[in-house]
Amino acid sequence: MTSIFTPDGKQTACTIIEAGPCVVTQVKTKDADGYSALQLGFGDKKEKHSTKAEINHFSKSQSAPKSFVKEFRDYFEDKNLGETITVDIFAEGEKVDVVGTTKGKGFQGVVKRHGFHGVGEQSHGQHDRQRAPGSIGGSSYPSRVFKGMRMAGRMGNDRVKLKGLKVVKIFSDKNYILVSGSVPGHNGSIVLIQK
């Protein structure tokens, strides 16, 4: 993340995303596959790290083996096998959705994980319970803990979609796209940008 200034002096926080070039590695049609979709590949990987099946699959689109492959259902325009898609499909000022995997936080308690307030008192018989979850249900009725009860556990590493991020700037020669605000995931992680 970084921030840039508008000419009138306002500072906007934004994230730089390297979006593409993506190669069309497979075209799925309604007749052959039952649904229409485009398979896009991003990021080269070495031939010695790919299986023969992968090398053969990517050779159909005359491209090197790709490390990330994603299918887009009902893509908004028709593309042929081997064609590249760059940031030029986006326009400045447009709103986009960004999907990513959030940073893993490990095993966390209920205060951090679910926003509980803990047991709010330090006196009145409370001791070492500032971040405790409190009661998790009744006694003889229902004699069990309800499903989905919010408790401590693994936090983060979830797929999250951020909607309505503004495209601040586009650098088509470097395939950089600047979106306003932050984006899920650590530095260098892979995200999906949807229009």
Closest CB to another protein among residues 5, 107: 5
Enclosing H/E stretch for 135:
none
| Secondary structure (3-state) at 156 | coil
How many of the chain's residues bind another protein (CB under 8 A)? 16
| Whether 67 contacts 10, CB under 8 Å | no
Among residues 9, 93, 115, 125, the one that binds another protein under rule CB under 8 A: 9
Among residues 24, 178, 179, 191, the one that binds another protein under rule CB under 8 A: 178
Count CB-CB contacts under 10 A for residue 47. 12
Contact status: 174 vs another protein (CB under 8 A) = yes
Task: Name the token pair of 93.
Answer: 């000022």
Contact status: 143 vs another protein (CB under 8 A) = no
Phi, psi for 100 (deg, rounded to 5): -155, 175
Among residues 16, 155, 160, 192, the one that binds another protein under rule CB under 8 A: 16
Rounded CA-CA distance 107/119 in Å is 20
Site string for another protein, 18-47 (x = CB under 8 A): x-----------------------------
Closest CB to another protein among residues 96, 178: 178
